[in-house]
Amino acid sequence: MIAEAKRKREAKVKMDWSALRTDFPILEQKVHGHPLIYFDNAATTQKPRAVLDTLVQYYERDNANVHRGIHELSNRATAAFEASRTRAAKFINARSPEEIIFTRGTTEGINLVATAWGSKNIKRGDKILLTEMEHHSNIVPWQLLAERTGAELLFFPVTGDIGLLDMSHLDEWLTKEVKLFAFTHISNSLGTINPVVELCARARKAGITTLVDAAQSAGHRPLDAQEIGCDFLVFSGHKMCGPTGIGVLYGRHEVLETMPPYHGGGEMILSVDFHKSTWKPAPHRFEAGTPDISGVIGLHAAMDYLDKTGRDNIARHDQELGAYAFEKLSQFKTGIRLFGPHIGRAGLVSFLLKDIHAHDVVTVADQGGVALRGGHHCNQPLMRKLGVESTARASFYFYNTTDEIDRFVEVLRDIQKFFGA
Ligand SMILES: Cc1ncc(COP(=O)(O)O)c(C=O)c1O
């Protein structure tokens, strides 16, 4: 209740988003003679000075390997490393830091679950339910598991260009053969925000284990793993102001304790004999080898930065930018195809300009200083379903402004003129 009241109070604060831009040195530059407009945040976000400084300070003062040493530097590095685990637990309201496993990112988190949980819990004839809007990271690891075990993959449909899940049919898909339901919180190519609490509740009622891909949501809105009610939740540091190469896998304690290791090596063992070893409990059982120490510590700074800004404020601003851009592009009337929900979308727009390839849009926009992304966005099966090869995507973050969107729209109009569309 107190947390909820705090969230609401934060959301009411009027933010000066442009002022926050000075925290991001990279945004100050010009590209091809134009002020940089960075609209590729769904791929990776920029890093604030607070994160950059933390990384430099760690390497300048505290660099040492964690857990094994008993000298001052190693103690400092270990304390900072474990403090980040505690911070990550708080960031997503996990029950304890033992539910937080550091990974290389969302992709590795899903592979870890598919391998360690999957090898114990999935067998021939079982079904794994995904949705048609999943990123390749939430498809391919399950394909590999299905090949190993003889399980089958099912895909819960998306309702065409508008990009929603048809919740009225969900229960028909949650059969007793389905052992796992893995789905994205926010679609990276449609901007759909899925009702994760309801998806998890309905799966749980059917006795199905759940995994939430929070790659596009963790840095964009408050996340509460207990309220969501999932068994697993994964995200990447680099999509939320943190360094690349670091991510988090949250697993419910009871589930993690039943899982065998993922990788074998140092750090994850209790004892090793020539022919047999025993494992540490979670989370260390799943963190073999020297971890990305600076990444973990940098992620801590990113989480602090985001919470100082207020994730409710960020979510509101994101949705305002998404709605503003969608409205502006809708005014094109002809010559544009827009993907994703018309209302309640996340901070991104995905579109195609008639007779102009998405890569051409992105290439010409870059000449105007606007960084977009064009392609299948690691959503090839979804693109095929929608009957397209690719889309162009503008994805926003809290340091973006409506003025930048106005400039982006101007650039798109120029592109249409240039190609005679
Ligand atoms: C929805 C979604 N899931 C998974 C990923 C994979 O994230 P990473 O490459 O950081 O592992 C992405 C990256 O774009 C994504 O958007």
**Protein residue with least CA distance to atom 7, ligand 1:** 106
pLDDT per residue as tens digits for the range 302-313: 999 999 999 999
Question: Is 378 part of the annotated catalytic residue set?
Answer: yes
Best of 107, 111, 142 to mutate for ligand 1, by most ligand atoms within 8 A of CB? 107
Q: So what's the pLDDT on residue 68?
A: 81
Q: How far is the CA of 218 from the centre of ligand 1 (A)?
A: 11
CA 339, 326, 46, 251 torsion: positive or negative?
Answer: negative
pLDDT per residue as tens digits for the range 224-251: 999 999 999 999 999 999 999 999 999 9
Q: How far is the CA of 178 from the centre of ligand 1 (A)?
A: 24
Rounded distance, CA 45 to CA 396, Å? 9
pLDDT per residue as tens digits for the range 262-300: 999 999 999 999 999 999 999 999 999 999 999 999 999
pLDDT per residue as tens digits for the range 377-420: 999 999 999 999 999 999 999 999 999 999 999 999 999 999 98
Helix (H) / strand (E) containing 235: strand 232-236
pLDDT per residue as tens digits for the range 154-197: 999 999 999 999 999 999 999 999 999 999 999 999 999 999 99
37 in helix, strand or coil? strand
| CB of 272 closer than 8 Å to CB of 133 | no
Between 293-309 and 311-330, two packed helices, what is the crossing angle to 10 degrees?
80
Q: So what's the pLDDT on residue 7?
A: 52
Name the pTM for this structure.
Answer: 0.96
Q: How far is the CA of 106 from the centre of ligand 1 (A)?
A: 6
Model confidence at 1, pLDDT cuts 50, 70, 90, reads very low
Q: Within 10 A of 168 (CB to CB), how many other CB atoms are there?
A: 7
